[in-house]
Amino acid sequence: MPPDIQAKLRQYDVLLHKWQKAINLVSPSSLEDSWRRHILDSSQLLPLLPEGPGRLVDLGSGGGFPGLVVAICRPDLEVHLIESDQRKCAFLQAVSRETQAAVVIHNRRIEDVLIPGFSADILTARALAPLSGLCDMVAPVFAANPRASAFFMKGRQAESEVAQARVGWRFTLDRHPSVTDPEAAILVVGALVREG
């Protein structure tokens, strides 16, 4: 990782600790290991993402993981962060300003942004909803761009969530083990269409 990018990520981590005192951005128990639990955890998406420019949309960004980490590391991507909590959006804006990460912040509900016709190349989400719920959220994006791909960071329930999602959806799936948590995985979903 280039030194300038690492410096920006360290700055992000400092801001996370500072703002966490006023806003619950991450679970308090994860804060003492925030570099590994949040920054490194998010950055493991980087080698999996398609190369070249494109539009990435991070759903339910919260403290900016993984979307804002990706924006810092991949300035060639047009990164959109969707977060309905106004205070969390203020934090995301502060990190964006301090690290010069170009992002578009949507202080709205996901379903109000991902409407029919909204197009993206890459979707990301971490600790947001079960896979079947995520499929519901991103369906309009896949309708607009069938070649889109979604990178969902999942915990130990990943396999049961896949089984439940297969009941109502057809999709391609690649699994990648998490490098920061042996019980977690990154599910890469493509060609998503509703069954029936």
Q: What is the pLDDT of residues 145-170, one digit of tens each?
A: 999 999 999 999 999 999 999 999 99
In the predicted model, what is the mean pLDDT of the chain? 96
CA dihedral 141, 25, 11, 103 (to 10 degrees): 20
**How far is CA 120 from each of CA 51, 82, 108, 145, rounded to the nearest angstrom?**
15, 13, 17, 7
What band does 22 get if pLDDT is binned at 50, 70 and 90?
very high
Burial zone of 195 (CB within 10 Å; 0-12 exposed, 13-18 middle, 19+ buried): exposed
How many C-beta atoms lie closer than 10 Å to residue 42's C-beta? 26
Q: Which pTM does this prediction carry? A: 0.96
Q: What is the pLDDT of residues 65-120, one digit of tens each?
A: 999 999 999 999 999 999 999 999 999 999 999 999 999 999 999 999 999 999 99
**How far is CA 109 from each of CA 59, 85, 106, rounded to the nearest angstrom?**
9, 9, 8
Q: DSSP of 82-138, one letter per residue?
A: E---HHHHHHHHHHHHHHT--EEEE-S-HHHHS-TT---SEEEEESSS-HHHHHHHH
Total domain count, the chain: 1
Instruction: Report whether 123 contacts 97 (CB < 8 A).
Output: no
Q: What is the CATH number of the domain that holds 76?
A: 3.40.50.150
How many C-beta atoms lie closer than 10 Å to residue 133's C-beta? 14
Instruction: Report whether 23 contacts 53 (CB < 8 A).
Output: no
pLDDT of residue 1: 81
pLDDT of residue 58: 98
Instruction: Report whether 153 contacts 126 (CB < 8 A).
Output: yes
- Tell me phi and psi for residue 85, to 5 degrees: -80, 120
Instruction: Report whether 57 contacts 122 (CB < 8 A).
Output: yes
Domain that holds residue 168: 3-194
pLDDT of residue 196: 73
